[in-house]
Amino acid sequence: MIRSTLLVLALSLASVRAQSPVFGQCGGENWPGPFTCVAGSVVSPGLLRPPPPVTSTVSSTTSTVKSTTSTVTSATSTASVPVSTAFVKTSGMKFTLNGAPYTLVGSNAYWLPLMGSSTGYSSADLNTAFNDIVGSGATTVRTWGFNEVTTTSGGVPYLHLWSGSTATVNTAATGLGSLDNVIAAAKAHGIRLIVTLTNNWSDYGGMDVYTAQILGSGQFHDLFYTNPTVIAAFKTYVQTVVTRYANEPTIMAWELANEPRCAGSNTVASPTCNTTTITTWASNISAFIKSIDKNHLVAIGDEGFFNEPGSHNFDFVYQGTLGIDFAANMQISTLDFGTFHMYPESWGENADVEAWGVQWITDHATVMASANKPAIMEEFGITDSNRSTTYASWYSTVVSTGLTGDLIWQAGSTLSGGPTPNDGYMIFPTDPVYQLIKSHAAALKARG
Ligand SMILES: *[C@@H]1O[C@H](CO)[C@@H](O)[C@H](O)[C@H]1NC(C)=O
Ligand SMILES: *[C@@H]1O[C@H](CO)[C@@H](O)[C@H](O)[C@H]1NC(C)=O
Ligand SMILES: *[C@@H]1O[C@H](CO)[C@@H](O)[C@H](O)[C@H]1NC(C)=O
Ligand SMILES: *[C@@H]1O[C@H](CO)[C@@H](O)[C@H](O)[C@H]1NC(C)=O
pLDDT tens digits along 364-400: 999 999 999 999 999 999 998 889 999 999 999 999 9
Phi, psi of 41 (to 5 degrees): -95, 5
Residues of the chain with pLDDT under 50: 2-84
Please choose from 259, 316, 347 the residue to mutate so as to test ligand 1's pocket, defined by most ligand atoms within 8 A of CB.
Answer: 259
Ligand 3 pocket member 271 (CB < 6 A): no
Distance CA 341, CA 408 (A): 10
pTM score, whole prediction: 0.82
Q: Is the CB of 247 under 6 A from ligand 3?
A: no
Percent above pLDDT 70 for the chain: 80
291 CA: nearest ligand 3 atom? 13
How many angstroms separate the first and last alpha carbons of the chain?
A: 28
**pLDDT tens digits, residue range 247-304?**
999 999 999 999 999 998 778 999 999 999 999 999 999 999 999 999 999 999 999 9
| Cα–Cα distance for residue pair 310/158, rounded to 1 Å | 43
Is the CB of residue 338 less than 8 Å from the CB of residue 330? yes
What is d(CA 441, CA 398) in angstroms, rounded to the nearest whole number?
A: 11
The residues that are catalytic are 259, 379
Instruction: Please list, residue by residue across 275-309, b when 16 or more beta carbons sit within 10 angstroms of its beta carbon and e when fewer do.
Output: bebbbebbbebbebbbebbebbbbbbbbbbbbbee
Has domain 74-143+178-447 been given CATH number 3.20.20.80? yes
Ligand located closest to 235 CA: 3
Please check whether residue 73 is in contact with residue 240, taking contact to mean a CB–CB distance below 8 angstroms: no
104: left (phi over 0), alpha (psi -120 to 50) or beta: beta
Alpha helices per DSSP H over 15-60: 21-26
CB-defined site of ligand 1, < 6 Å: 29, 200-201, 259, 261, 263-265, 303
Q: Is 52 strand, coil or helix?
A: coil
- Atom number in ligand 1 closest to CA 258: 13
Q: Which of 426, 31, 59 is nearest to 264 (CA)?
A: 31
For the chain, give every domain's residue range: 74-143+178-447
Is the C-beta atom of 258 inside 6 A of ligand 2? no
DSSP string, 124-183: HHHHHHHHHHHHTT-SEEEEE---EESS--SSS--SEEEETTEEEE--STTTHHHHHHHH
Ligand 3 atom index nearest CA of 228:
5
What is the structure's pLDDT at 1?
60
pLDDT of residue 200: 65
Q: Is the bond preceding 25 in cis, omega lying within 30 degrees of 0?
A: no
